[in-house]
Amino acid sequence: MPNQASAAVGPTMLGIMLLYALYALPLPTLLLSFLQVYLSRRNLRWGRILPIVSAVFSVAAALVVGLVAGTNLIGTAYGATALLALAALAVFNIPTLVFFLLYRCQKRRRAREDLNRMRIDDLE
């Protein structure tokens, strides 16, 4: 009987992660994206802050999900716990990917502006 109760925790944890990914993740990611663009435009070193913080947070959250699922799914296979932790890592790394892509776009924009500035200086 305990296996049936603990087996229901896996889909519940997956459901909670999906709800988090669909409802709680987009708004803070959108708002922090504006901060990421601002920081990247000010200084490229400052633009690295949010991707690093987000990556650390996502790894910690995936470890917590793995530990919670591991303690609740004792009677089941370890593969389910590992897959759940990997799914959590993928879901929690979505903001990291967004912040990193914004950083790269701002870095390329700055490189293009510097190149155009050098071309203008060469013409003068």
Q: Are 28 and 94 in contact (CB under 8 A)?
A: no
pLDDT in tens, the chain (124 residues): 455 544 445 567 667 767 777 777 888 888 999 999 999 889 889 999 999 999 999 999 888 887 877 766 666 666 777 787 888 888 889 999 999 999 999 999 998 998 998 988 888 7
Task: Show me where the domains of the chain are located.
Answer: 2-123
Instruction: Give dist(CA 115, CA 20) in Å, integer.
Output: 42
C-alpha closest to that of 8 among 68, 91, 72: 72
Where on the phi/psi map is residue 43: left (φ > 0), alpha (ψ -120 to 50), or beta?
A: beta
